[in-house]
Structure 1
């Protein structure tokens, strides 16, 4: 499933998920030898979606691999192929012809095949999970470098004039919403066409419009409407509205929730009311499925978050699946969404690289475009733990934040700094996230108090003294089942002690408006024998999860639940 609801009633769609032919290409010879049109012998069956690093023989494989399947057209048709997530480079071929390339494993892309002939067609995808110093993520990131087609592929049959996109904007005044639906139509016809465009929600119809579309062209129109007695989307009380647009023989269905989010002084307001954020960081990862996370487990994760008393989750550190965000919308859980820019070891050369900046801006555009309608998302995250002491980081920040604000003024812009006492980019953000690990990487837990005092001084210096602060990462490793008579490193007792003492400090500070514990569940990381990074990751896992990788609760989970649910 791509979404938690059907996006089309008129447009015919089907998933291409299932068993595909699969073969690795460790010598990177497949393109030269023409594997796109002559798939090599020796392939095996591989499930799509999945990660190849969860399979025997490819557990540590980094490089290129090829996938193949077939689909049938009962008659000549306009075909659109939608790819929800491929890690990280994807070259798409249909009947041996290259029809598209995409970089970025966590956002969707599509290709359109106009007037594709009747009959059986071969779909081949070359996938490459190789990363380097100019990719997002770079070749050093604190999670495993999975490869594969990690999310569903959908085949859509399009009429000659189809709906390419819909964007819902609104302004709230008391209980009324003024709504603008921006609809983009695209023609695949060889002749000019006229179509009627109409839209509705909750039984309310918008003004319809007759639209002329030139042959092979695109056109955009805006439909206006007003809703009275609007139910607002709230934490734990999620009111959702479904919008349907129909244009001739095509339709598109999406949904949103009406709410406002803003900063007032050092507070965050949701629908005009102060909200204290309590949550965790969560990777969409599991040792059996990698990043190809199944919907059943998403529901379980959401139940666990709710049980813990969370009202927000941070999507660390990449755009997560649309199905997951749909679930958050439906359950009234907030989300911080960000691109895969983990920068702890990122060089100044990388930060200044034009292709790196271009890729980051493109990922921001894809993330915001895809997820614009989700009411659960209140933060767009620009970057995480880059060297924000440097001019290179400052210039990159200007570009990233400028892109976000040009696309969306309805949400808050944030990031996570690991240099709070010296950071020079604070003034560009609405909310400041601080990542610090006193009690684990640095000194004792009491170090948080001194750090925060120094941060506030630095923030005043940079004109950010009154901005809301979220403790966006803190914690310690605790190996599930390792308990003793007293707290010691890597024990559940030590982890619980660090987390609970840190929460006490943060909840006593009126300038802090939320906490996001690192992290939800243990995750596999990229530990290699030939590299020095992450050697403190016992079992090749980041063990700071409040749960084990199989979602078994540690002592810290039970104590955090008591704090979050009691409000103490």
Structure 2
């Protein structure tokens, strides 16, 4: 099947961060500025998004490239297609502005045909601007970085004078009946008023067999019109377990040439029972989900395709069948992968943490919503159109005008129903408007922003009768990867219970307000795992629940959380920002994954501590029937898994370790054989005193002149202070570069210690010095010799 002639523009670009006058300076600036060669996708906040010392850059950045354009179609059109650029864009051919787009997350196309006419080499420049704009969604008070740059793919596309624009499939299906598939399309034909068009519409099944075909002759039309309708008896149904996909292919022939368009679609049946569960294809399905920001270490929003594929596969391997795409339209690849993997999607308009603002703000929101629905409604994975998030936020423009917010939310809901009657709308946290969306999520953060995680079931039961269709989006806990606890978090004894479990106002801050684990707790992986464990066992007990989505799959940057253990990083992810799974990932796997797994808690816990002979807890997470644990080669017994036996579903042992090195070995017995997992660690019985100084050691020294150093906080006797959460700063002197600003515990030059240690890597050419400092203690220095 023929595809439109196109070229993806990944290489050959130059970038400059800062203002230039497009009337002259963009193409005559060599004496003014230095342009940097870059490859797309590119985000100009890839390094500074989580810089501990200065906020991320908000402003303009220029991209330029010279193209050789050769349209093969007589009288054809040449289009520039951007899959996403943050946050506002202007497109220039030479000094002529040929297009403008507002909104950082939707795809857009600019016709550059006339501006290129007569040129042999096309000077293309694109201005991206992520500067503050009160009239643009999302709000500048959003709890995530509003990235700038050409952070998704850019294409040049050649089409005939008359070509297909948008093509949509609409599916009508009731259980036990045939599926009716309607195919509609719109044209792109500037200046063309008439002319016969021959269209071939074909449907292919998941095995690439053509199962339906229709030839149609039409004249040039305006708007979107139906081309064909097909009846598919005994259709293959799409589901998370079996995500079968059909292909719709449309070919248009005219005197101007051939244009074609193809997309995949699915057939499924959904039903939301009032005050009860969700049904897919006639059977109850618990939506087991997480949430995603488009963000990654080293790349920020410009994630390479292979990393996106890895991330979505990790999500599927965890057992998730649902993802909320927070808080904006995400790349087409993400939606394609959700279709392929069988992951339902809540995709959301970026009306986030704001009031209704100005009329311009509202109209831009409407346009972004129309575009998102138009561009993504063919995807069978899309289950709900999110109208927004947390629009009860204090301090925003018109943020306290409840009636205005209700009016706008109602307008958006009705717009979604008009554009796509087949799907529900949804909203999270805006209680005074909870009756407006079809599906609503209240704020329930039991055990983190307020209350105890043991109050989770009561909070859900209380919320159940308030709306017909309840879904719990956003719950979880921050965890500083590598930080673990031997004993329960001391903050638990001071948290008030029975006073609510929601997040209110500025509860995310680390100062002020009542005692809460989010502010006063240790942020250990141990506590996060217990909270996840309790929530997941609770959800298993509730046959009426539609589902929930943990916040969030992977750590991401935010300008609001400067004092976090990793500055400017939200650390509620099940993965660190470089996609390394934390221990919590395996808790979810033990409940949700179908593939057998076993994981001893604490793979990144090198030193455990306690008194000699003291009983210490070992947790094993597994979805197998039973697990046998060995300590230093000696069996400590077999435990049977019971999801309601908290913690670790009964797979826990309280046993004494020997001083010094220890090894734990787990053997899990499942229906298809055995699995094993092993962890080694040192058990420290010495008591430590007040921290006195830091030490530095060379942990790893690689041939490519890359080294890793580890800092430790010790007392006067040199015993590591394993409870230290001191903030440390790494520096280097000489021909060296710290590998920092990654937003990870091991890739940040300013970071809180995890159990009295912290590490960072650096690249260097000659012998260099590394130092680590922390207020009130002696600084440590280390010389790294050349190799």
Query: TM-score, with normalisation over the residues of structure 1?
Result: 0.88
User: How has the CA–CA distance of structure 1 residues 487 and 544 changed in structure 2, closer, same or farther, with 3 Å as cutoff?
Assistant: farther
In structure 1, the residue matched to 2:181 is: 179
Tell me, yes or no, if structure 1 residue 285 matches structure 2 residue 262: no
Counterpart CA distance in 1 for 2:373 and 2:193 is 34
Candidates 574, 580, 584, aligned match of 1:546: 574
Deviation at 1:225, TM superposition (A): 2.1
- SS across alignment from 2:361: helix
In structure 2, the residue matched to 1:4 is: none
In structure 2, the residue matched to 1:54 is: 46
User: How has the CA–CA distance of structure 1 residues 186 and 538 changed in structure 2, closer, same or farther, with 3 Å as cutoff?
Assistant: closer
In structure 1, the residue matched to 2:475 is: 474
- SS across alignment from 1:280: strand
Deviation at 1:128, TM superposition (A): 0.2
- SS across alignment from 1:498: helix
Counterpart CA distance in 2 for 1:13 and 1:230 is 34
Task: Give CA-to-partner distance per residue, 1:198-223, whole Å, 9 cap, x none.
Answer: 21112244432222238xx7674522
Candidates 257, 261, 273, aligned match of 2:270: 261
Tell me, yes or no, if structure 1 residue 19 matches structure 2 residue 28: no
Greater relative CO (CA pairs within 8 A, separation 6+): 1
User: How has the CA–CA distance of structure 1 residues 189 and 136 changed in structure 2, closer, same or farther, with 3 Å as cutoff?
Assistant: closer
Counterpart CA distance in 1 for 2:265 and 2:327 is 24
- SS across alignment from 1:200: strand
Task: Give CA-to-partner distance per residue, 1:244-291, whole Å, 9 cap, x none.
Answer: 111111111111011122212222222222210112112121011111
Does the CA-based 8 Å contact 2:46-2:301 persist in structure 1? no
Counterpart CA distance in 2 for 1:407 and 1:291 is 29
Candidates 324, 330, 335, aligned match of 1:320: 330
Counterpart CA distance in 1 for 2:240 and 2:271 is 15
- SS across alignment from 2:340: helix
Counterpart CA distance in 2 for 1:18 and 1:160 is 28
In structure 1, the residue matched to 2:529 is: 496
Candidates 266, 271, 274, aligned match of 2:284: 274
Task: Give CA-to-partner distance per residue, 1:418-470, whole Å, 9 cap, x none.
Answer: x5xxx23222222222333222221322343454454346x1xxxx3xx2322
Worse-superposed segment, 73-82 or 141-150: 73-82
User: How has the CA–CA distance of structure 1 residues 111 and 29 changed in structure 2, closer, same or farther, with 3 Å as cutoff?
Assistant: closer
In structure 1, the residue matched to 2:107 is: 108
Candidates 407, 431, 435, aligned match of 2:439: 431
Counterpart CA distance in 2 for 1:486 and 1:317 is 36
Does the CA-based 8 Å contact 1:36-1:93 persist in structure 2? no
In structure 2, the residue matched to 1:564 is: 592
Deviation at 1:396, TM superposition (A): 1.8
In structure 1, the residue matched to 2:81 is: 82
Tell me, yes or no, if structure 1 residue 30 matches structure 2 residue 31: no
Larger radius of gyration: 2
Tell me, yes or no, if structure 1 residue 520 matches structure 2 residue 516: no
Deviation at 1:518, TM superposition (A): 1.0
Deviation at 1:498, TM superposition (A): 2.0
Looking at secondary structure, tell me which structure has more helix per residue: 1
Q: How do 1:143-158 and structure 2 match up within 5 A?
A: 143-158=144-159
User: How has the CA–CA distance of structure 1 residues 314 and 537 changed in structure 2, closer, same or farther, with 3 Å as cutoff?
Assistant: farther
Tell me, yes or no, if structure 1 residue 380 matches structure 2 residue 388: no
Tell me, yes or no, if structure 1 residue 251 matches structure 2 residue 265: no
User: How has the CA–CA distance of structure 1 residues 492 and 167 changed in structure 2, closer, same or farther, with 3 Å as cutoff?
Assistant: same
Worse-superposed segment, 178-187 or 496-505: 496-505
Counterpart CA distance in 2 for 1:431 and 1:191 is 44
User: How has the CA–CA distance of structure 1 residues 424 and 56 changed in structure 2, closer, same or farther, with 3 Å as cutoff?
Assistant: closer
Deviation at 1:142, TM superposition (A): 1.4
Task: Give CA-to-partner distance per residue, 1:46-97, whole Å, 9 cap, x none.
Answer: 2221111114899722101111012112367420111100000000111321
Structure 1 gap segments, 5+ residues each = 1-7, 528-532
Does the CA-based 8 Å contact 2:344-2:382 persist in structure 1? yes
Deviation at 1:307, TM superposition (A): 2.1
- SS across alignment from 1:74: coil
Query: TM-score, with normalisation over the residues of structure 2?
Result: 0.64
- SS across alignment from 1:235: coil
Worse-superposed segment, 387-396 or 468-477: 387-396
Does the CA-based 8 Å contact 1:261-1:410 persist in structure 2? no
Counterpart CA distance in 2 for 1:123 and 1:101 is 14
- SS across alignment from 2:121: strand
Root-mean-square deviation (CA, aligned residues, Å) is 2.5
Counterpart CA distance in 1 for 2:588 and 2:166 is 42
- SS across alignment from 1:53: coil
Counterpart CA distance in 1 for 2:9 and 2:62 is 16
- SS across alignment from 1:427: coil
Does the CA-based 8 Å contact 1:187-1:218 persist in structure 2? no
User: How has the CA–CA distance of structure 1 residues 20 and 503 changed in structure 2, closer, same or farther, with 3 Å as cutoff?
Assistant: same
Does the CA-based 8 Å contact 1:52-1:58 persist in structure 2? no
In structure 1, the residue matched to 2:741 is: none
Counterpart CA distance in 2 for 1:74 and 1:378 is 41
Counterpart CA distance in 2 for 1:293 and 1:10 is 25
Q: How do 1:162-561 and structure 2 match up within 5 A?
A: 162-173=163-174, 174-188=176-190, 192-202=194-204, 203-213=210-220, 220-248=225-253, 249-265=258-274, 266-343=276-353, 346=354, 350-387=355-392, 390-417=402-429, 423-456=431-464, 459=466, 464=467, 467-488=468-489, 489-527=522-560, 535-536=563-564, 538-561=566-589
User: How has the CA–CA distance of structure 1 residues 186 and 554 changed in structure 2, closer, same or farther, with 3 Å as cutoff?
Assistant: closer
